[in-house]
């Protein structure tokens, strides 16, 4: 069905601005993850330092976006789809800010690992990173285009990322059992893997909010049966 525009063109513009800002913030976090992972795989700590320096920009944009949403809540008193859109946007920006922090965590571990001999070729970690970036992209595309199918994809990928995280954990455990000198490096790699797994959780959080925005039904914490 064709989406009608608001009678107030200013209001329409404000809502569009929120969408644009979220797309931009999403792109910044994707770039941060990619750069942190490049720092690890290419053993270039300058990339990692760039991620850490640019996190301030993500934090600043998160704060600005939240402020814009609160302003709309106060001044426009949105209802129905607009209310669900704004509450979803507030949640999404929070998730993206946390994803930015996790990219910083990965960057910090990458700097540590780059100073030590390589423990093993990185195969699964880049795969995880690529999957979580796709999850972020899909969850935001789902938000912008109100697309439920994409949220389903995010859910499916989250399971794959969880499995990869467990697989990496098991593999590194064997390294550590065989040779205690690998423990420090193995723990750093595990922490990177864990951060990627948490990013996947945040992307799923975004997708769940998008489902709420589209359907009006909350799918978060379903085990608690919150009405």
Partner 1 sequence: MDANIIIKLKNVNFYYGENRALTDITMNYRKNKVTALIGPSGCGKSTLLRLLNRMNDLIDGTRVEGEILYEDKNIYSPDLDPVEIRRKIGMVFQKPNPFPKTIYNNIAYGPKLNRVGSANLDELVEQSLKQAVLWDEVKDILNQSAMNLSGGQQQRLCIARALAMKPDILLMDEPTSALDPISTAKIEELVEELKKVYTIIIVTHNMQQAARISDETAFFYLGNLIEYNKTEKIFTKPDVKQTEDYITGRFG
Question: Does the protein bind partner 1 through residue 81 (CB under 8 A)?
Answer: yes
Q: Are 93 and 65 in contact (CB under 8 A)?
A: yes
Question: Does the protein bind partner 1 through residue 13 (CB under 8 A)?
Answer: no
Instruction: Give whichever of 6 and 181 is closer to partner 1, judged by the CB atom.
Output: 6
Instruction: Give whichever of 11 and 175 is closer to partner 1, judged by the CB atom.
Output: 11
Question: Does the protein bind partner 1 through residue 227 (CB under 8 A)?
Answer: no
Instruction: Give whichever of 27 and 144 is closer to partner 1, judged by the CB atom.
Output: 144
**Contacting partner 1 (CB under 8 A), which of 22, 56, 57, 80?**
80
Q: Which stretch binds partner 1 (CB under 8 A): 62-70, 82-90, 104-112, 135-143?
A: 82-90
Rounded to the nearest 10 degrees, the angle between the axes of helix 148-178 and helix 183-215 is 170
> Total number of residues binding partner 1 (CB under 8 A)?
17
**Contacting partner 1 (CB under 8 A), which of 83, 119, 144, 160?**
83
Q: Phi-psi bin for 160: left (phi > 0), alpha (psi -120 to 50), beta? A: alpha
Instruction: Give dist(CA 163, CA 169) in Å, integer.
Output: 10
Instruction: Give dist(CA 180, CA 22) in Å, integer.
Output: 45
Instruction: Give whichever of 80 and 226 is closer to partner 1, judged by the CB atom.
Output: 80
Q: Are 23 and 144 in contact (CB under 8 A)?
A: yes
Torsion from C-alpha of 155, 157, 160, 166, nearest 10 degrees: -80
Instruction: Give whichever of 7 and 115 is closer to partner 1, judged by the CB atom.
Output: 7
Instruction: Give dist(CA 187, CA 100) in Å, integer.
Output: 21
Footprint of partner 1 on this chain (CB under 8 A)?
Answer: 1, 4-8, 11, 77-84, 215-216
């Amino acid at each position: 069905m064709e989406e009608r525009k608001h009678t107030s063109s200013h209001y329409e513009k404000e809502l569009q601005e929120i969408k644009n800002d979220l797309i931009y913030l999403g792109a910044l976090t994707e770039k941060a993850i990619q750069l942190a992972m490049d720092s690890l795989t290419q053993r270039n700590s300058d990339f990692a330092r760039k991620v850490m320096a640019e996190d301030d920009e993500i934090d600043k944009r998160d704060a600005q976006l939240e402020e814009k949403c609160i302003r709309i809540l106060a001044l426009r008193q949105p209802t129905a789809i607009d209310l669900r859109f704004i509450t979803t946007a507030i949640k999404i920006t929070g998730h993206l800010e946390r994803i930015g922090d996790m990219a910083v965590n990965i960057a910090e571990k990458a700097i540590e690992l780059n100073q030590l001999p390589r423990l093993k070729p990185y195969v699964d970690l880049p795969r995880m990173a690529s999957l979580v970036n796709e999850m972020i992209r899909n969850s935001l595309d789902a938000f912008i285009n109100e697309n439920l199918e994409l949220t389903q994809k995010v859910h499916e990928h989250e399971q794959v990322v969880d499995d990869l995280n467990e697989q990496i954990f098991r593999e590194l455990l064997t390294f550590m059992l065989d040779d205690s000198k690998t423990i420090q490096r193995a723990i750093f790699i595990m922490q990177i893997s864990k951060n990627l797994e948490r990013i996947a959780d945040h992307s799923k959080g975004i997708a769940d909010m998008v489902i709420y925005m589209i359907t009006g039904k909350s799918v978060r914490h379903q085990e608690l049966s919150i009405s």
